[in-house]
Amino acid sequence: MATKRLQSVHTTLAPAAIGPYSQAMQFGDLVFISGQLGLDPATGLLVSGGVAPQTQQIIQNLLNIGAASSSEPNQFLKLTLYLTDLADFETVNGLLNAALAEPFPARATVGVAALPKGAAIEIDAIMAGSNG
């Protein structure tokens, strides 16, 4: 029986962790990606313009972290969205619909009072990865 291997995933194409956590952890064929804000990995700053550009940046960050774990694009199994304003739900829905393909991942959306760095949205993810 093969032993599953736990490993940290890191890429410079996504923002560095802003606390004591990994960008992602891979265990066997699963990749658990930490919550991503709409941070530009080059500057570490939140992209301007509100929820839409932040969501687009988050999607790119998630894809880059997934690629660093040898995941194929669009192998998201589960997304959890955290929104500071649930009125942004439809905007975010449209962006995710454009960025993802069927079958769409399982998903939960949670309204929160605030997020780090004043972000409007945060998304964490579970992806199917390589068996590394």
Per residue in 25-80, pLDDT tens? 999 999 999 999 999 999 999 999 999 999 999 999 999 999 999 888 789 999 99
Q: Is residue 3 included in any domain, yes or no?
A: no
Q: Is residue 57 included in any domain, yes or no?
A: yes
Q: Name the DSSP letter for residue 117.
A: G
Mean pLDDT computed over every residue of the chain? 93
For residue 93, give the CATH number of its domain. Answer: 3.30.1330.40
Q: Is residue 92 included in any domain, yes or no?
A: yes
Q: How many CB atoms lie within 10 A of CB 39?
A: 22
| 5 pLDDT tier (thresholds 50, 70, 90) | confident
Instruction: Name the burial class of residue 100, with classes exposed (0-12), middle (13-18) and buried (19+) by CB atoms within 10 angstroms of its CB.
Output: middle
Whether the pLDDT of residue 4 is over 90: the answer is no
Whether the pLDDT of residue 118 is over 60: the answer is yes
Q: Is residue 2 included in any domain, yes or no?
A: no
Residue 46 confidence (pLDDT) = 97
Q: Is residue 124 included in any domain, yes or no?
A: yes
> If you average pLDDT over residues 82-108, what whole number do you get?
97
Residue 132 confidence (pLDDT) = 47
- Please list the alpha-helical segments (H only) found in the chain: 51-68, 89-99
The verdict on pTM exceeding 0.75 is yes
Q: Is residue 119 included in any domain, yes or no?
A: yes
How far apart, in whole angstroms, are the C-alpha atoms of residue 24 and residue 85? 26
How far apart, in whole angstroms, are the C-alpha atoms of residue 62 and residue 56? 10
Per the structure, how many domains does the chain have? 1
Query: For residue 72, what are the domain limits?
Result: 9-15+22-128
Q: Is residue 47 included in any domain, yes or no?
A: yes
